[in-house]
Structure 1
């Protein structure tokens, strides 16, 4: 049972001021005690010796200590001093004792404004509480004050006076000693020590609660705190079990350890980049260039740099420096590649002395290319930006010779240099708006550092205490270690934003069905307020067949990443596990950092790392389109790979009901399956659609039937069948016109070039059509869409053709029958043998030629079927799931749309 005892002195013995101080103290000192009975006297005496102009209540909490001295000493002090209170309670651990003292103090004394925690084996100097309390009250932005550490017994001291860093507190160590002064507002917010934590680090977890609630702390450099250190202690026991305790803390505070949280703190506290604007020499300090960030002049930056040489734990400059014109940054931001370029530049700057960044115009494609010394185009043109590590720059500053670094003006510079070429539809002004080149800006900056008077100073440590914190320039490494990622994407979310981030993962960025569906889904999700990002994990290039505004960013892995294979096997498929080198776990965790949802669009190897993302709270979706077939006719492909990793997926999306049934039959619960029917990959205005249908109606029954094939000339598309049908058509001299549009795949050249074989029949292969207008014109001009595939999912081409009244004549494979009703809005070819398919196709063409009304009826049926089929409607069940997972308000969407950020001045 808890007991409280106060001194026996009468009220007449106290002066009025003393009585007021006792009855209305402004500060409470809570001293928990368990088995430190004799040392308790030193702690209490130091508390009583405080020289303060306000009342202090000293609260001794006996946590069921088995030693009788504790009760004797505690009671004696309470009897002798009216401001000392002795409480005894059953043993509950250090957290329980501290909470007991806090609750007693706040309930007994409404006047208390702060609590100081003093362990029974530590001491404070006489002016400590006055100094720290005054410091706390003078800074309304902080809610607790923590000391430097001066240990006696086993002597040690450590300087903790660096600016308080949440990133450091989360990723490095508990930088706030429990012997800190905490404002009452923290406890009024309901924050208490976790009483289940009896093995240590409960004070660390307490500070994390404070951080999560939005409170912050600060160090007082002259705190007057003495920490007793002995060879064995509870703290040393805690370190022996630290891994288990930290696992509990991480699970309890997942939001604090989230990539977006830690990266935002890095941006605010220890920026990763220092960007020096060519021409103006203004220095921007940021992790995310698109987020608000400070800008300083070069002189101030130089001063900070040299300060960091003396005390790198308290002062610092970013670990990476770059030189670029603001216009070049803005150009990359507008295209959507800025963050990805910085991600690659950071990675490359750790392997090479310097990274040159060059922007090139490409009207139809966005791509990244890495050129090393010896490449044909290596530094053939002037770079628009340079990047290097601060360590490399420091070596250049200290090198009195200029010859080595000045050679960057040459095509073959002496430093180990790599060039990052960014190709995109940049405007002409984007590429030539720098008055001063990046090379000259770098060299001029270097000269300014060398000429600085600070350089000639003797850079000794300014304080007598030893440094404990890691150098500020290495904080980014702590972020990497905490996330198991390298490097971490330099992108942050504005504080308070709830706009979910969705990442679409694609193997390549061409214009196949998988990509077209992903682009269409992304367009609709962006419209509904989500922040959508595109990731191409294979070749670092994508055709611009989408509106760049549909994606908040475009990102490439740009690495040697095999899109198939692995040392493990599942259902006849080679797969990867997270620990395999080919999985590139750390690299991909860094690239995908900050996402709320990942939609894997048939990237087989990335499955290996998605389990780790799911463990961190990311929702993982798979979008599977088709079952492939081997040469022997066996089903294979991404659905089987998906089964191997089914456990990690929150949802598996299918483009057909048939595919959903297949997954369910293979053991996937219905709750994890969602059929999202396809819609045309691109949109048409109502006026455009009416015009297209009128154009077809005016044409009437054509004299010659116009046939269209769109796609790859490969075995999956049944090109052998199409060729056989074309030969039959020519032999029978049918009045038809073949239009062959696409590209030839030379996977099997045993039969020679299909382009040449069709040319022998008078049919010329036209290049693939990527633009929406070109596709519409092709469908409108055609009467019939031909598709002779051996296997398919739910082809978008059918929907796009039907929309403008083009009749599909297609093989009944995959989910094609879900898109075409035979004799209503198209014709299905149901034979399976290649020769039979060719014969059936020709017979279908003869029917259309012989019946003037059949083509018109099927065309009208096709247009009616496709009318009103939209991604907005088809995605509504998925959007409902996303809304349940990530509720956010529409006004936040509008705010995000109207806010613009200037990346670098």
Structure 2
């Protein structure tokens, strides 16, 4: 409710700047504020709108009315019911937009503040000369009453503005900003409404710009509205952060950090510029010539609150960057560097060949690490440290990095890569780093140590920008990844990645999603090494290891329905782990115990969390154990469950998981077979040649697979009717199968498609005497080649084998001797009846031809896509 009382005649001239003066219970200062407006010097005509916000003092009304009558061409007096500071400002803004269409800038002036004579002309000139994106120009803080002065100089940073308000409400605002619909929040009556307004303006794409030597004067007294607001700071900020949560996620902050306050200064050999990055794989980034970067480095030392320089240095060659990117490790190397440099001075990255063909990444604690600096292919360093080193004219401390006993504490990050990647070793980087430090030192020593400005600066240093993640997201080090914004980054979380069915399922999920425009990322929670599978480097965007030994570990003092829960939070701060995953759009946790403990935090970051279940496990005494039982304690932290069978879906629903949260994704063969070979083998099976029955066991040599049963089956079929092959290795434990008494030699695991094709083409029968299973990929792959499967009836095996039609199921209820006897009996029957062998095998091949990963995943992908769409 507002009432127009006096003034508002534009007269001969056009109002160029409109000033809004809310007035409530401060009539004694109102005249001073008005006089400071009317005495402004410059070419523009200044208009003032006084908004009496229901002030109970008659003096406010009298002063406002008298000025409007005395200066009808410049002063308007409005009166409204009390609605608070925001409502009063909005009332004045709305009047200016309608009554003064030529007005280019609007300035909110509290009734107890003042302007020096040239302020508005200087502010309007800067605003007119700025980019259209500049929505406001803001002054330094110059107080009177209590005499204080504080600088707000430097480039505007929305990222830093989120952490603290350094834009005074008394800033000149571009008309178009208000015309776009932005207003002060009238529900905020306890304070910080100007900070809220600036942040919402920045969210809309507008930016501020500092106005030096402004001439704005802020009255400061012992008690004021601001003093009262400061007492409620935590309450008000807590409410603001809840309302703006979607703008305060790790993904949103990472994008903003990369644009404004990136944390890495990358010095790359052969480049004349310095890259400023958060994401080392970003296609676009800010850069400056070396000389300009040196000056920025120096100014950031002397004016740390006004000038940004990245908090960490990276020295690298293009060869090292390319190698680590091809290995998928580049972002994880930068992530590990963030943590290593908390306690160390330098991080040296070395690369070596893995004899096992693995990918591995391990950090040693910071120490005086001998010659490690001389062999490093990348080096990271703290900026604070190098700022101190650059002031040392002797440079002996950092030069000792080449000695056997260096002074700096150097952590080492050792990468091991398959020979196929490490064909040429990148050059060492220490000499390049030391030469660049020389240049930084020369720039530092040539600059005067005197401060550039007389006003003190009480803001936090820009070098500490990354504190925002701790304060706003409860995350520590984050994956240095700037998501493109298309919401197509998915993280697959596993405790290990080796030779196993779960890994093959995840690889095929990732491959199918890659083909649909997703970017899959791999996260290993329980190891610092992994075994790449075929096509791995073409499928995964990145490979990520957690700090140290990972985040696995159970809390066996807290059992939920008999199963342990994640113990990660008991012995480690979870914030770094959450930060590593928080830039993902979707996360699928498959069997990672440590992953359960961070899923709720990821959901708070807007990540869609899914749980992948493959089988229900029990201990040797029938006690519940394994991922599905544990996951029931965390059901509320997941958006959905992905299961691989109808049995597992029924089990989840029976355990009170909502049916709508459970999506079935059937398995399919784990690799693309040679179709010509498949056709040839199936043709040959229609007219089998005489000879022994060829029997194959293929899989992990772990207790789950029934190794004792397998041994007894082999011992009872060691005659001329049978030819046996056993292929695999232990992964989960060291319980390898002892075949010495059988005379058989265990063959190494087959990793590639051609190797597997050769095995299935050889075999007539594949046996799987497991104690528990989900939906074994071996069965689906063997069926494709017309192999006859003989498997224990456990898990969901009965969903992919029709007993005595396209395979054979062995019941387990009658004890171990009966299981072994049944396997032996079936093998003997098939050895004797080749027609039956042929019929069952060809039926299996026909069944296998019906399945594909992309088709089986369709329901799940539809749910994910629906969740990715913004709410209406």
Q: TM-score, normalised by structure 1?
A: 0.91
Match of 1:705 among 685, 693, 696: 693
Moved more, 550-559 or 738-747: 738-747
1:256/1:591 CA distance change after superposition, 3 Å: same
Say if 2:361 and 2:414, in contact at 8 Å, map to a contact too.
Answer: yes
Higher RCO by CA contacts (8 Å cutoff, separation 6 or greater): 1
- SS at structure 2 position matched to 1:276: strand
Mapping for residues 288-687 of structure 1, pairs under 5 Å: 288-291=279-282, 292-362=284-354, 364-371=357-364, 379=372, 382-425=375-418, 431-432=424-425, 434=427, 437-452=428-443, 454-494=444-484, 497-547=485-535, 548-561=537-550, 563-566=552-555, 567-576=557-566, 580-684=569-673, 686-687=675-676
Provide the C-alpha distance between the structure 2 equivalents of 1:260 and 1:206, rounded to a whole number of angstroms: 22
Checking the alignment, whether the CA contact within 8 Å between 2:554 and 2:567 is kept in structure 1 is no
SS in structure 2 of the partner of residue 759 of structure 1: coil
1:695-721 per-residue CA deviation (whole Å, 9 max, x = no partner) reads 5556x1441111111223333211111
CA drift of 1:380 comes to 10
Aligned with 1:741 (options 709, 722, 727): 727
Q: Which range moved further: 241-250 or 278-287? A: 278-287
In the TM superposition, residue 146 of structure 1 has moved relative to its aligned partner by 1.2
Give the equivalent residue in structure 2 for 1:775. 756
Task: Tell whether the 8 Å contact from 1:116 to 1:179 is kept in structure 2 after alignment.
Answer: yes
Q: CA deviation at 1:486?
A: 2.0
* Conserved? CA contact 1:742–1:769, under 8 Å: yes
Output the aligned Cα RMSD.
2.4
Can you list the C-alpha shifts for 1:12-64, whole angstroms capped at 9, x where unaligned?
Answer: xxxxxx8232xx42221111122122212211221222223223221111111
> Which residue does 1:156 correspond to in 2?
148
Q: Residues 358 and 294 from structure 1, CA distance in 2 versus in 1: closer, same or farther, beyond 3 angstroms?
A: same
Cα distance between partner residues in 1 of 2:235 and 2:643: 41
Matches of 2:65 and 2:110 in 1, distance apart? 18
Match of 1:261?
Answer: 252
Q: Which residue of 2 aligns with 1:109?
A: 100
Q: State the shift of 1:651 in Å.
A: 0.3
Asked if the contact 1:678/1:874 (under 8 Å) is kept, the reply is yes
Distance in 1 (CA, whole Å) between partners of 2:834 and 2:44 is 102
Deviation of 1:150 (Å): 0.6
Q: Is residue 810 of structure 1 aligned with residue 810 of structure 2?
A: no
Partner of 2:863: 881
Q: CA deviation at 1:843?
A: 0.9
Higher mean alpha-carbon deviation, 795-804 vs 375-384, is at 375-384
| 1:896 match | none
For residue 835 of structure 1, the aligned residue among 797, 802, 817 is: 817
Instruction: For residue 374 of structure 1, report the CA deviation from its aligned partner.
Output: 9.3
CA distance in 2, matches of 1:397, 1:7: 63
CA distance in 1, matches of 2:797, 2:448: 78
Q: Which residue of 2 aligns with 1:4?
A: 4
Is residue 2:108 matched to residue 1:122? no
Task: Give the C-alpha shift of residue 294 in structure 1.
Answer: 2.9
Q: Which moved more, 1:183-192 or 1:236-245?
A: 236-245
8 Å contact kept, 1:331–1:430:
no
Instruction: Give distance in 2, aligned partners of 1:744 and 1:593.
Output: 33
Preserved CA contact (<8 Å) 1:124 1:225? yes
Equivalent residue runs for 1:788-803 within 5 Å:
788-803=769-784
Aligned residue for 1:20, secondary structure, equals: coil
Corresponding residue number in structure 1 for 2:31: 41
Unmatched runs of 5 consecutive residues or more in structure 1: 12-17, 889-905
Distance in 2 (alpha carbons) for counterparts of 1:188 and 1:609? 43
Give SS of 2:87's match.
Answer: helix
Please say if residues 369 and 405 of structure 2, whose CA atoms lie closer than 8 Å, have aligned partners that are also in contact: no
**1:52 — aligned with what?**
42
Distance 2:370 2:733 in 1: 30
Q: Does 1:716 align with 2:716?
A: no
Verify the 8 A CA contact 2:53 2:79 in the aligned structure 1.
yes
Does structure 1 retain, via aligned residues, the 8 Å contact 2:692–2:721?
yes
Match status 1:95 vs 2:86: yes
CA contact (8 A) 2:374 2:429 kept: no
Determine the C-alpha separation between the residues in 1 that align with 2:275 and 2:407. 28
Q: Residue 179 of structure 1 aligns to a residue in which SS? A: coil
Q: 2: distance between equivalents of 1:773 and 1:695?
A: 19
- Please give the per-residue CA displacement for 1:380-407, whole angstroms capped at 9, x wherever unaligned: 9821121110122233223344444333
Instruction: Summarize the Cα distance change of 1:431–1:274 in structure 2 as closer, same or farther, 3 Å threshold.
Output: farther
* Whole-Å separation in 1 of the counterparts to 2:634 and 2:604: 14
Cα drift, residue 280 of structure 1: 5.1
Distance 1:285 1:64, change over 3 A: same
Q: How does 1:146-225 map to 2 (within 5 A)?
A: 146-170=138-162, 172-225=163-216
Decide whether the 8 Å contact of 1:348 with 1:418 is kept in 2.
yes
Aligned match for 1:25, one of 10, 15, 22: 15
Write the distance in 1 (CA, Å) between the matches of 2:237 and 2:411.
40
Q: Report deviation, 1:6.
A: 2.3
Query: How many Å separate the matches in 2 of 1:87 and 1:851?
Result: 102
How many angstroms apart in 1 are the aligned matches of 2:827 and 2:861? Answer: 42
- Kept after mapping to 2: 8 A contact 1:480/1:486: yes
Partner of 1:39: helix, strand, or coil?
helix
- 2:148 and 2:680 mapped to 1: Cα distance? 84
CA contact (8 A) 1:780 1:804 kept: yes
2:785 and 2:362 map into 1 onto residues whose CA distance is: 40
Structure 2, unaligned stretches of length 5 or more?
none
The count of corresponding residues between Structure 1 and Structure 2 is 863
1:165 and 1:373 map into 2 onto residues whose CA distance is 33
1:14 is matched with: none
- Larger mean Cα displacement after TM superposition, 383-392 or 520-529: 383-392
